[in-house]
C-alpha cells in the first residue's frame, strides 16, 4: 500500500501517504492500519519515526491509537470536530484581532442570513419567531434577564446557520458562538440600550428572512456585526 519515504522528512511523508489513503477512501473508517512491523518495512523507517507520524495523525483526528491485545491504529471517520476545536482555541485565546473577527463575521453571517432567506420554510420561520419572543421576554425582566437574552441571541444565530443548509457555516459558527464570550466580556459594554439595539437588529434580520429578501437580510446582518464590533473597538481603545 505504501512506498519508502525520503529520510530527510520521513515522518511527514508517512503522514501524507496515510492521510491521502484516508481521503481517497482506500483506508475507511473503522479499519486497522497494518501492524507497526509491517508499516516500518513498507515505509523503510525506524520505530521512532513511525510513532511520531502516528502521533501526528492522531492529533489530526484521523486515527485512534488503541492499546492492549486488540489494539492498533484505527481509522476514524473524518468530521468537523478538529476544525471546531482548533477554531475554538484560537478565539478563546483572543489571538484574532477585533478587525479580523469583524471582517470574518460580516462575510460569514451575511452569507448565512442570505441563504436562510432563500431556503427557510414555514417551520423555520415559526422557530425564529419563537426565539424572538423568548429574547423579548428576557429583556422585559430587566438586568436579571440579560444573560439569558445573550444566550437566546446565540441560539437564534445558530438556528440561522442550520437553516442555511450549509454544514461548513454551521460548524464554524457553532465554534464561534461557543467561544466568543471572551471578546464580549473583555470588550463589549453590556447595558439595556445596547441589548435593545441588538434585539431590534434581530427583528430586522428575521423580517427580511420572512420576506425572503436575501440581499436585505445580508445587509442587515453585516451592518449589525460592523456596528457592534465598533463598540468593542471603542472600549478596547479606552
Q: Among candidates 213, 238, 234, 216, which has minimal Cα distance to 98?
A: 234
3-state secondary structure of 236: helix
Model confidence over 23-55: pLDDT tens digits?
Answer: 888 888 889 999 999 999 999 999 999 999 999
Q: Between 3 and 47, where is the model more confident?
A: 47
Give the percent of the chain with pLDDT over 90.
Answer: 56
Model confidence over 53-70: pLDDT tens digits?
Answer: 999 888 888 888 988 777
How many beta carbons lie within 10 A of that of residue 228, not counting itself? 19
Is the torsion defined by CA of 184, 187, 189, 194 positive or negative? negative
> DSSP letters along 38-87, please?
HHHHHHT--HHHHHHHHHHHHHTTSEEEE-STT-EEEEPPP-SHHHHHHH
3-state secondary structure of 32: strand
The answer to whether the CB of 178 falls within 8 A of the CB of 107 is no
pLDDT-based confidence at residue 82 (cuts at 50, 70, 90):
low
Report in angstroms the alpha-carbon separations of 230 from 99, 125, 186.
Answer: 9, 30, 14
The domains located in the chain, with CATH, are 7-75 (1.10.10.10), 81-237 (1.20.120.530)
Model confidence over 127-145: pLDDT tens digits?
Answer: 999 999 999 999 999 999 9
Amino acid at each position: 500500500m505504501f512506498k519508502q519515504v525520503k529520510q530527510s522528512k520521513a515522518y511527514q511523508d508517512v503522514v501524507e501517504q496515510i492521510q491521502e489513503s484516508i481521503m481517497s477512501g482506500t483506508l475507511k473508517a473503522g479499519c486497522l492500519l497494518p501492524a507497526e512491523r509491517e508499516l516500518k518495512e513498507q515505509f523503510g523507517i525506524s520505530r521512532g519515526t513511525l510513532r511520531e507520524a502516528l502521533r501526528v495523525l492522531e492529533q489530526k483526528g484521523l486515527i485512534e491509537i488503541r492499546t492492549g491485545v486488540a489494539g492498533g491504529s484505527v481509522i476514524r471517520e473524518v468530521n468537523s470536530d478538529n476544525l471546531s476545536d482548533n477554531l475554538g482555541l484560537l478565539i478563546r485565546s483572543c489571538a484574532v484581532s477585533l478587525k479580523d473577527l469583524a471582517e470574518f463575521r460580516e462575510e460569514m453571517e451575511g452569507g448565512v442570513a442570505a441563504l436562510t432567506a432563500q431556503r427557510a420554510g414555514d417551520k423555520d420561520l415559526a422557530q425564529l419567531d419563537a426565539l424572538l419572543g423568548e429574547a423579548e421576554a428576557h429583556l422585559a425582566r430587566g438586568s436579571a434577564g440579560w444573560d439569558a437574552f445573550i444566550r437566546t441571541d446565540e441560539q437564534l444565530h445558530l438556528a440561522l446557520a442550520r437553516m442555511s443548509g450549509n454544514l461548513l457555516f454551521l460548524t464554524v459558527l457553532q465554534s464561534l458562538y461557543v467561544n466568543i464570550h471572551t471578546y464580549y466580556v473583555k470588550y463589549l459594554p453590556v447595558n439595556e440600550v445596547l441589548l435593545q439595539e441588538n434585539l431590534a437588529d434581530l427583528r430586522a434580520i428575521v423580517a427580511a428572512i420572512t420576506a425572503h429578501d436575501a440581499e436585505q437580510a445580508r445587509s442587515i446582518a453585516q451592518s449589525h456585526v460592523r456596528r457592534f464590533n465598533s463598540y468593542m473597538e471603542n472600549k478596547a481603545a479606552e
